[in-house]
Chain A
């Protein structure tokens, strides 16, 4: 049995997600759904001079979706919006470093797609 999908990185971020919760006075506050499974994510972003100063998220979904949000938060905080826009889905998935099946790729990209759509 392969534990590829549930590597330590996923489990750690699932148990203890980074930047999880409500961001007060956010400039961007969007909620998206993965209609395939009903998962729901809320992404909040604080902007300052073209940079992502703050990022937080709340998710009602699976471990992959939660880990995806957590890993994304570490990646984008402090970055220029223009640079964040340049991060392709492939690049982000590589950042997670786990092979996903097509169905679970959507979960992994839930936070990423929500952020990209919002900025």
Chain B
């Protein structure tokens, strides 16, 4: 059951990083989230009490280890309303998208087919498709965004693209730069009603930490995400794909664990999802991810969403206050928007502002955010980015505001 009283200060205490770094204002969760004690304990306990190989040994400890691993898969499946066998553990979200590209698209797409993606994608959801374009001769069509930096998905119909040629639509659920949440459920339904018979992939790396995900409700064919952005350990990601799609996909890597029968000349593949999980699994990371799912469910995604939306509103007000000095790259309204703020002080490079913010212990990212296509569209080389999560508070944003004053002072912008 989710908690009814959500107290961000209490939440902050669940994350030892804040105790060990007093005064730190961590505003880089879009890159990677901090970890609650429960996740750290899950990994440590596993090492200390239950560690053994999985899917191999017959002895008790190995069985327990395997159960813990598979139990985490069940938790993840339940968390996004999928079946257990539809959950493939990968290295991260990028690997999950690569698996869709090489396991599915490379097998089924051909010259003349079209892949629709968006200008606000992370490199992870662009480059695999550039590779498919090179290998299969497909065309790429980028959906633009509108003036409020929301996806203009209806633009597809004013393009010259023959809708019958569209075989894959791949869209980020939330932009890691703009904070825009794309209404993927509506988009998929809208496109299907218009007769588009494509597969739909959702890059959920930025959405799953913040929004309740139901893959059946969204009705996507693929959904990719990463553990380390949703409070879990690094090193593990997930590809969800509909069972019938996984059944027809080719494995990407070959070797241990993913086989049924091996002879000197041939091999047959294990059932899904093992077919796609070569070698020994990332045990401690998967078990840690299971604990992260527990924590998110206990806290309640609805509570997190509500709290973060308050932060978004507060953040937008802060940026409004500084609009004389700062350009904000993202929607100006809090609806369907994450608490992610990409910005630049006018004429000042993102590295300069990030460096000065760091002196006030405010941690923001600066750079192109693995979104060079979007940077080009925005006509900037880099931005600074403050991104918030469940453990952030309005006080954190106040400290960001005070640090802004320092940038103004040092660069004599007044």
Contacts and interface: CB of A to CB of B under 8 A. Distances in A.
B380 to A, nearest CB: 10
B367 interface: yes
Interface in B317-376: 348-352, 355-356, 359-360, 366-368, 372, 375
A6 B381 contact: no
A64 interface: yes
Given A3-B410, A11-B411, A38 B352 contact: no
A56 interface: no
B382 A38 contact: yes
B412 interface: yes
A40 B359 contact: no
Interface residues of B, number: 20
A104 interface: yes
Nearest to A62: B349
Given A11-B411, A63-B348, A37 B356 contact: no
A68 to B, nearest CB: 13
B305 interface: no
Interface in B377-404: 381-382
Contact of A1 (B351, B406, B412): B406
A14 to B, nearest CB: 8
Nearest to B367: A37
B368 to A, nearest CB: 5
A38 B359 contact: no
A35 to B, nearest CB: 11
B352 A37 contact: no
Contacts of B348: 63
Contacts of A104: 351, 355
A60 B381 contact: yes
A5 B349 contact: no
Q: How large is the interface on A (under 10, 10 to 19, 20 to 34, 35 or more residues)?
A: 10 to 19
A41 to B, nearest CB: 12
A38 B381 CA distance: 7
A61 interface: yes
B412 A6 contact: no
B382 A63 contact: no
Interface string A17-58: 000000000000000000001111000000000000000000
B349 A38 contact: no
B204 to A, nearest CB: 27
B410 A6 contact: yes
B382 A37 contact: yes
A2 B351 contact: no
B406 A38 contact: no
B368 A38 contact: yes
Given A11-B411, A11-B412, A38-B368, A107 B360 contact: no
29 contacts: A1-B359, A1-B360, A3-B410, A6-B352, A6-B356, A11-B410, A11-B412, A37-B351, A37-B366, A37-B367, A37-B382, A38-B367, A38-B368, A38-B372, A38-B375, A40-B381, A60-B381, A61-B349, A61-B381, A62-B349, A62-B350, A62-B351, A63-B352, A64-B351, A64-B352, A65-B349, A104-B351, A104-B355, A107-B351
Interface of B: 348-352, 355-356, 359-360, 366-368, 372, 375, 381-382, 406, 410-412
